[in-house]
Amino acid sequence: AQSVTQPDIHITVSEGASLELRCNYSYGATPYLFWYVQSPGQGLQLLLKYFSGDTLVQGIKGFEAEFKRSQSSFNLRKPSVHWSDAAEYFCAVGFTGGGNKLTFGTGTQLKVEL
């Protein structure tokens, strides 16, 4: 069965600093990988996704992620964080079975200091 690990429960960065959120997955085949963001009281917004091809994926709001098969990782990065990026971030792995089921990590709460 697939699984996703987000080792950092909380991360605090200063506004303008760079950000990297870690995600490791376990899955027997080539994964579909996603990053979602959830602002307080809001639903889930898709930041970016990897299905195949170029391993560096660009997303919305200036985020990018890199798929590294050898490390089973899909880390999310942003070169300069804005205060509005404070939210909870979820990494997920998907496959076409189970009705396009996603298996989520436990999330990383990002705090941005001004």
Partner 1 sequence: EAQVTQNPRYLITVTGKKLTVTCSQNMNHEYMSWYRQDPGLGLRQIYYSMNVEVTDKGDVPEGYKVSRKEKRNFPLILESPSPNQTSLYFCASSPSGGTLHFGNGTRLTVT
3-class secondary structure, 62? helix
CB of 43: closest distance to partner 1 in angstroms? 4
Nearer of residues 28 and 70 to partner 1, judged by Cβ: 28
Q: Which two tokens stand for residue 79?
A: 């070169």
The nearer residue to partner 1, 48 or 112, going by C-beta atoms, is 48
Residues within the interface to partner 1 (CB under 8 A)? 4, 9, 34, 36, 42-44, 46, 49, 90, 92, 94, 96, 98-102, 104-107
Q: Between 14 and 39, whose beta carbon lies closer to partner 1?
A: 39
Q: Which two tokens stand for residue 14?
A: 């200063």
Which of 28, 41, 37, 50 lies closest to 88, judged by CA? 37
Q: Map residue 71 onto helix, strand or coil.
A: helix
